[in-house]
Chains A and B, each alone.
Chain A
Amino acid sequence: MRFVGILVVLAGWVVTMAGLIATTSTLSRGLFACAGIAVSLFGIFGILNQYYLGRALWKK
C-alpha cells in the first residue's frame, strides 16, 4: 500500500501537467491543477497515512 500511495501522490502531479499541456484554456488548466492537488492529497492522507496508522504503535 505504501507504494500505491506514493504512486497516487505522483499521479496527482501528472494530472496537473496533463492539463497544462492538453489545453490552452486558463480555466481548464486551473481545474486540472486543483484536481491534481486533490489526487496527491488523497494519496498522502487517504492511502499513505492510513497505511502508517494501521501499524501505529499506540494502537497495539
Chain B
Amino acid sequence: MVSFKTKARVLAAIFGFAMVLGIAGSVCAAEITADTVLTGISGPKSEDIAGKGDAGAELTGTSNDVTISDASKGLTVQDLVNQAGQNKIGLNFTWTLICGFLVMFMQFGFAIVETGLCRAKNANHTMMMNFMVYGLGLFAYYVCGFAIQMGGCAPVANLGGLYPLNGEHVMTLFGKPWGLFGTKGFFLTGAHYDVGVMVMFLFQMVFMDTTTTIVTGSCAERWKYSAFCVSTIGLGAVIYPLFGNWAWGCGWLSQLGVNFGLGHGYCDFAGSGVVHSVGGITALACAMIVGPRIGKFNRDGSPNAIPGHDLVLVMGGCFVLAFGWFGFNPGSTLGASGNGCLRMGSVAVNTMLAGCTASFAALLYMWIRYGKPDSSMAVYGMLAGLVAITAPSGFVNPVGSCVIGWIAGILVCLSVEFFDRVPKLDDPVGAISVHGVNGLFGVIAVGLFADGRSNYGGSWNGVAGGVKGLFYGDPGQLVAQLIGVSTLVGVIFTMSFLWNWLVDVFVGQRSPAKWELAGLDIPEMGALCYPDFQLKANDYAAVAGSEKTGTLVSK
C-alpha cells in the first residue's frame, strides 16, 4: 500500500516537473497552465483519520491541506504555487517573530546584568529603568520611530514585499540621491495595518529597545528617573530611527555602494553600529553630562572600584543575553527560506564563536595582568565579542569570527581601563566599552574580514555579489564602514549630546547627592528592592568622609 506521505512526495515531484515545464515554455509548447487541474491526487479520507488516528504521521500534512481556490475545479497548479509562496512567507514570519521574541527576552538579561553590577541600594531603581525602556521606547517607536526608520524600506522579499513601506524622503545633493528618513508607517494605521509590516515592526522594535537599555547602564546609580524617561523617548523616537534608516531603511549610508562605488555601501548585518554603537555613543554623551558617581574618583583623580552587589545576577544575565543573541543575529536574515537565509546556521556559529573567544581573551588578559581571572571582565568580554560580531556575523567565516572575538575581548579590557583613567568617565556597567567601542570595532570588522562568500539573493544594498572586506580584496568596503563610524561618532554623538543637554537644562539629569548616598530606591522609587536585607548605610564613609574624599558635593 502506498502511504499518503509517498503520495505527497509524488505531488511535490509533479509540482517540480510543472516548474521545469514552465521555464522551458519557450522551447516546447507549454501544456500546463495555472488553471491546469491536477487529477489522480487524493488525500486520506476523514473516516480513516477519525477511525485510526495518525500515530505514524502518515495521514497529516497531505494534499488535503493544500488550499483549493475553486472546489468545483479541484486542485490546480495555481493552488500549488500559491501554497508554496504562503509556506515560504509563513516560515519567514515565524522565524523572524520567534527571533524577535528572543531579542525581547534579552531585556531580562540586560536588566539583571546591570542590576547585579550596581549596589543593592539602587537595585529597584536600576531594574525599573530597564523595565520601563520597554514601555517608553516601544511607545515612542510606535508613534514615529518605526516610520522614520523603516518607512521607505520596501521591497523586502523575505517578508512578502512590505510594499506599504514605500516612502523615503530623498534629497538630491552633488548629483546623488541621499535617503534621509522614512515617511510611511506612523501609528501603523491605514495601509500599514499589514501582516508583513507587523512582523517587521516587532523585530525592529525589540532592536531599538536594546539600544535604549544600554544607556541606563552607563548612568546607573545617579540618573534622575524623570530625566531617564524623557531621554529614552527621544532616543527611541528620533535618534536611533534616523541612523537605522540610513543603514537599514534604504538611507544614504546603505547606498554608498550604488552611488559612490564603495563596496556594498555601509553593511551592518544585525546592528553593531545601528543598535550597539548608537546605544554606546549615547551612553557616552549621557555619562559625560550626568557625571561620575559620588566616590568613584578621589580628589587626585584616581578611580575607585565600586563593586556590584550580585555576581550571580551578572553572570546569569550574561548567559541570558548570549542565548538571546541567537535571535539577534540569525534572526536578521529576516527569514528561513529564500535569499540566502540558509546562512542562518553560519551566522549562529559565528555568534557563538566570537562570544566564547572574546570571553576567553578577556579572562586571559586579566589573569596575566592582575593575577586573577576577573569574573566581571569575563562577562564584559563575552558581551563585547557578541557585540563585535553582530555586524559581521552574516559576512564572515568562523576563523574570522574567532579573530574578531579575540580582538574584542582584549579591546574591552583596555577600553574599561582607558575610560576610568584618562577621560575619567564613570560607567558602572561598562556600557560604553562593551557596546560603544566594540560596536564601532564590529562595524570596521566587516570592512576587514567579510569573505565575499555570503549571497543574500545575489546582492546586498543593491550591489551584486558577496560583501568583501579589505583582506579579501575590496578596500572600498572598509571605507564605507569608516564613513559609517564617522557618522556615528560625529552625527549621532552630536544629536545625543544636544538632546540630553536639553533634558539636563529643563529636567535635570542628576539625582541630588543626598538621594544618591541613601540609594535611589526609596527617594526615586518609593520602595527598596530588598526590604528584608539590611544594607550598608553608606559605602563611602558617608557624609563624615566627604572632606577626606572630596566627593560629597551636592549639585
List residues of chain B with CB within 8 A of the CB of A9. Answer: 489-490, 493-494, 497
Q: Taking CB as reference atom, which chain B residue is nearest A12? A: B490
- Any A CB within 8 A of the CB of B119: no
With most chain B CB atoms within 10 A of its CB, the pick from A2, A9, A58, A60 is A58
Q: A6-B494, A30-B475, A30-B482 are in contact. Are A48 and B288 (CB under 8 A)?
A: yes
Mark out the residues of chain B between 525 and 555 whose CB falls within 8 Å of any chain A CB in the assembled complex. 549-551, 553, 555
Q: Taking CB as reference atom, which chain B residue is nearest A49? A: B423
List residues of chain B with CB within 8 A of the CB of A1. Answer: none
Q: Taking CB as reference atom, which chain B residue is nearest A33? A: B482
Mark out the residues of chain A between 44 and 60 whose CB falls within 8 Å of any chain B CB in the assembled complex. 44-45, 48-49, 52-53, 56-60
The answer on a CB contact under 8 Å between A52 and B291 is: yes
| Proximity string of chain B (480-501) to chain A, C-beta cutoff 8 Å, 1 when within and 0 when not | 0011011101110110011001
List residues of chain A with CB within 8 A of the CB of B425. Answer: 49
Least CB distance from A2 to B in Å reads: 8
The answer on a CB contact under 8 Å between A40 and B483 is: no
The answer on a CB contact under 8 Å between A44 and B297 is: no
- Any A CB within 8 A of the CB of B413: no
- Any A CB within 8 A of the CB of B284: yes
The answer on a CB contact under 8 Å between B485 and A37 is: yes
Least CB distance from B416 to A in Å reads: 16
The answer on a CB contact under 8 Å between A6 and B555 is: no
The answer on a CB contact under 8 Å between B289 and A52 is: yes
Least CB distance from B379 to A in Å reads: 26
The answer on a CB contact under 8 Å between A60 and B550 is: yes
Q: A21-B174, A52-B289, A56-B291 are in contact. Are A33 and B489 (CB under 8 A)?
A: no
With most chain B CB atoms within 10 A of its CB, the pick from A24, A26, A36 is A26
Q: A10-B494, A44-B489, A56-B297 are in contact. Are A29 and B424 (CB under 8 A)?
A: no
Which range holds the interface residue count of chain B?
35 or more
Least CB distance from A43 to B in Å reads: 8
The answer on a CB contact under 8 Å between A13 and B491 is: yes
Partner of A58, one of B289, B297, B478, B483: B297
Q: Taking CB as reference atom, which chain B residue is nearest A60? A: B553
Q: Taking CB as reference atom, which chain A residue is nearest B281? A: A44
The answer on a CB contact under 8 Å between B497 and A6 is: yes
With most chain A CB atoms within 10 A of its CB, the pick from B261, B296, B423, B483 is B483
Q: A29-B479, A60-B553 are in contact. Are A41 and B489 (CB under 8 A)?
A: yes
| Proximity string of chain B (243-271) to chain A, C-beta cutoff 8 Å, 1 when within and 0 when not | 00000000000001000111000000000
Least CB distance from A57 to B in Å reads: 5
The answer on a CB contact under 8 Å between B550 and A58 is: yes
The answer on a CB contact under 8 Å between A26 and B482 is: no
- Any A CB within 8 A of the CB of B164: no
Partner of B490, one of A2, A10, A58: A10
With most chain A CB atoms within 10 A of its CB, the pick from B476, B489, B490 is B490
Q: Taking CB as reference atom, which chain A residue is nearest B284? A: A44
Q: A44-B493, A53-B424, A57-B553 are in contact. Are A26 and B486 (CB under 8 A)?
A: no
Least CB distance from A35 to B in Å reads: 9
The answer on a CB contact under 8 Å between A37 and B482 is: yes
The answer on a CB contact under 8 Å between A13 and B291 is: no
The answer on a CB contact under 8 Å between B288 and A49 is: yes
The answer on a CB contact under 8 Å between A30 and B494 is: no
Q: How far is the CA of A44 from the CA of B260 in the complex (A)?
A: 29
- Any A CB within 8 A of the CB of B353: no
Q: A21-B174, A44-B284 are in contact. Are A56 and B486 (CB under 8 A)?
A: no
- Any A CB within 8 A of the CB of B292: yes
| A–B pairs, 6, beta carbons within 8 Å | A9-B497, A10-B490, A20-B256, A24-B261, A40-B486, A48-B497
Residues of B within 8 A of A (CB): 174, 256, 260-262, 284, 288-289, 291-292, 294, 296-299, 301, 422-425, 475-476, 478-479, 482-483, 485-487, 489-491, 493-494, 497-498, 501, 549-551, 553, 555
Q: Which 3 residue pairs of A and B lie closest in terms of their CB atoms, listed nearest first? A: A13-B490, A33-B482, A16-B486
